[in-house]
């Protein structure tokens, strides 16, 4: 078995400090990318499913590639990167969101993506398809996978360990995003301190962006200076500088920068939580914001992750709804036992809390706010929890 370090871009092999990255890798076996778990393969489902589009899948996202990742793609002689290299060069030629620090999503795309949250477009709309996704490949594949960025490195539709697994990868995404920002800025400045990274408000569009064109020549030259027309050369130089960074310099300028150590400490804590029994909070109720669908005598619940859910008996769901946020968990359990003769098995409570079905009551100031689900129409899997049972006392 490899390590967590082995799961990431090989460029980071020598840079990440010893510790959590040398722990065994986490393999999300339920997120079957080559045979997408969110696509229709004729599997049995407890409710009608809104499956992903098989020629889009979770690649309905436009990655933001740090300059050194772009350079890595351009400098890599591997034949399997030939198509990705061609697509990167096409992006550079169009000059859309091509800056000294990143080659990113055009703001027009970002506005569409943000506006489509909650519409069910993710995984289904080809209008949001990643420009590096090879639709013509028999199974659909990424043309730049070796040099993927933070989001693509850490996203899964389903997690073996429930919410603790989600939290682990989400924290790693935060750390990798921090690394990309800091390292991209550092290598760019080491090559040419006169380069200007533009500040772009995500809620505004220029005329050129509206018409799917790059900025005018004067604006583009203000960003790039003497590197106009030599962007590919610059990106490759960024990659070479990143590969030459010494671990101590990386620690000083990235890990010791704002948030760096916090991310690493949190990542260690998240890793430690995998497979361990979490301490139940003092107050426990049906998690705020969960989504439910009735399927006969069962209720399908999706909680922290809209693409993975649980099918539990409706009787159990109704009982969980009786947990009073004004009472502590022991008080709730005692009341249900004494008044209705209902006992909830401790292992059941533990499991449902771990997987986000049960949670702490919302803070008072947030109680009136509706829970926001970024992909409102995504439906859960047909997994059914049978690890513990609801029991009733005989009177």
Instruction: Please name which of 380, 363, 197 lies closest in space to residue 281, comparing C-alpha atoms.
Output: 363
DSSP β-bridge partners for residue 295:
298
Residue 283 · residue 174 · CB < 8 Å: no
Residue 121 · residue 128 · CB < 8 Å: yes
DSSP 384: B
Contacts of 193 (CB under 8 A, 6+ apart): none
Residue 138 · residue 240 · CB < 8 Å: no
In degrees and rounded to multiples of 5, residue 292 shows phi and psi of -130, 150
Kindly state the tokens that stand for 342.
Answer: 């209902």
- Please give the angle made by the CA atoms of 204, 209 and 215, to the nearest 5 degrees: 110
For residue 276, the SS3 value is: coil
Helix (H) / strand (E) element for 73: namely helix 67-75
What per-residue confidence (pLDDT) applies to 379?
33
Helix (H) / strand (E) element for 240: namely helix 231-244
Ranges of the chain with pLDDT below 50? 366-395
For residue 6, the SS3 value is: helix
HSE-CB for 352 with a 13 A CA cutoff:
29
What per-residue confidence (pLDDT) applies to 203?
81
Model pTM?
A: 0.85
Alpha-carbon span 81 to 280, nearest angstrom: 48
- For the chain, domain boundaries: 5-273, 285-392
In degrees and rounded to multiples of 5, residue 191 shows phi and psi of -90, -45
DSSP string, 200-236: --TT---HHHHTT-PPPHHHHHHHHGGGTT-HHHHHH
- Over residues 235-285, the pLDDT tens digits come to 999 999 999 999 999 999 999 988 899 999 999 999 999 988 778 999 999
Residue 62 · residue 130 · CB < 8 Å: yes
What per-residue confidence (pLDDT) applies to 169?
97
What per-residue confidence (pLDDT) applies to 50?
81
DSSP 103: E
Contacts of 99 (CB under 8 A, 6+ apart): 197, 198, 223
What per-residue confidence (pLDDT) applies to 384?
41
């Amino acid at each position: 078995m490899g390590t967590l370090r082995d799961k990431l871009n090989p460029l980071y092999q020598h840079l990440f400090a010893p510790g959590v990255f040398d722990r065994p890798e986490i393999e999300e076996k339920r997120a079957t990318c080559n045979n997408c778990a969110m696509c229709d393969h004729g599997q049995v489902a407890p409710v009608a499913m809104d499956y992903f589009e098989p020629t889009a899948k979770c690649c309905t996202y436009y990655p933001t590639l740090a300059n050194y990742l772009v350079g890595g793609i351009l400098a890599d002689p591997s034949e399997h990167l030939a198509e990705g290299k061609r697509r990167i060069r096409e992006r550079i030629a169009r000059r859309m969101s091509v800056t000294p620090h990143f080659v990113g999503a055009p703001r027009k795309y970002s506005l569409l993506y943000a506006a489509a949250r909650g519409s069910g477009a993710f995984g289904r709309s080809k209008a949001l398809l990643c420009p590096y996704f090879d639709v013509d490949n028999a199974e659909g594949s990424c043309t730049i996978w070796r040099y993927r960025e933070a989001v693509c490195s850490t996203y899964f539709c389903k997690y073996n360990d429930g919410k603790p697994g989600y939290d682990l990868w989400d924290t790693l995404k935060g750390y990798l995003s921090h690394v990309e920002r800091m390292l991209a800025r550092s290598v760019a400045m080491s090559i040419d301190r006169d380069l200007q990274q533009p500040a772009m408000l995500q809620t505004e569009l220029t005329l050129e962006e509206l018409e799917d064109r790059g900025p005018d020549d004067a604006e583009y030259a203000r960003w790039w200076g003497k590197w106009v027309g030599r962007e590919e050369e610059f990106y490759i130089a960024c990659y070479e500088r990143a590969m030459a960074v010494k671990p101590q310099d990386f620690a000083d300028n990235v890990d010791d920068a704002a948030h760096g150590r916090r991310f690493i400490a949190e990542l260690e804590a998240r890793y430690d939580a995998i497979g361990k029994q979490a301490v139940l909070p003092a107050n426990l109720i049906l998690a705020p914001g969960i989504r439910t669908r009735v399927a006969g005598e069962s209720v399908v619940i999706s909680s922290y992750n809209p693409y993975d859910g649980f099918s539990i008996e409706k009787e159990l769901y109704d009982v969980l709804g009786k947990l009073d946020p004004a009472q502590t968990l022991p008080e709730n359990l005692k009341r249900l036992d004494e008044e209705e003769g209902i006992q909830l098995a401790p292992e059941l409570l533990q499991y449902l809390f771990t997987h986000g079905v049960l949670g702490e009551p919302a803070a008072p100031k947030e109680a009136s706010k509706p829970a926001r689900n970024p992909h409102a129409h995504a439906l859960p899997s047909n997994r059914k929890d049978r690890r513990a049972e609801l029991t009733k006392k005989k009177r």
